[in-house]
Amino acid sequence: MSPHGDQRGIALVLSLIVLMLLSGPVLAFLAAGALEPRIARNLGDAARARWLAEAGLEIGYGALVAAADADDSWGGLLAGAGAAAPWVTLPGLAAAALPGLSIAEGTYTVSIRNDVAGDANDVVIMRSTGAFNTAARTLEVVVRRRRAPGVPAAGVRALHAMSNWRER
């Protein structure tokens, strides 16, 4: 017998304890490493959804200007709006893909509503929602239509402006 008593197997017990202590941080690093690509993909999807929403605002703005120049008002576009459903989707801009891209590469939807129900002050609120994979971003802007100074007659080209951007 040795003077320190029977110590056979203590190395095995100590190595198992050290292995268990080190396995916790290793598993945490592995979990974080598996999560990072998902976070990066979600961030990229959210950025693309915002870009689609911004593109939808620009395309919707062009549609508003064309409609106002054609009949001197936005009344035709707002005809379907009501108290229960004030938002009206612009024609052809519901879940639309950007020109040259497929729907799988993201869509946008543009809708408008009058700023105050029933008024005719040539101010509307336009909302665009971009969607890509599971991400969606919504932007709203105020669009104003003003006649050139000193030209009150209808049928005269008006000045259009977007302001008050807001992300929802």
Contact present, 45 and 107 (Cβ < 8 Å): no
Domain that holds residue 57: 10-167
SS3 25: helix
On whether residue 3 sits in a domain, the answer given is: no
Give dist(CA 56, CA 50) in Å, integer. Answer: 10
pLDDT 10s per residue in the chain (168 long)?
566 666 677 888 888 898 888 898 888 888 878 888 888 999 999 999 999 999 999 999 988 888 876 666 777 788 877 778 889 999 999 999 998 999 999 999 999 998 876 666 778 899 999 999 999 999 999 988 876 666 555 555 566 677 777 777
pTM of the complete model: 0.74
* Distance between CA atoms of residues 27 and 35, nearest Å: 12
User: Is residue 2 included in any domain, yes or no?
Assistant: no
Counted domains in the chain:
1
Q: Is residue 30 part of a domain?
A: yes
What stretches of the chain show up as alpha helix (H) in DSSP? Answer: 10-71
Distance, in Å, from the CA atom of 5 to the CA atom of 9, rounded to the nearest integer, reads 12
Token duo for residue 79: 């005809």
Q: Is 86 contained in some domain?
A: yes
Residue 41: per-residue pLDDT:
93
Pairing assessment for the beta strands 88-89 and 135-147 based on DSSP bridges? unpaired
Residue 1 resides in a domain: no
Model pLDDT, residue 149: 67
The tokens describing 136, both together, are: 């969606």
Answer yes or no: is 142 within a domain: yes
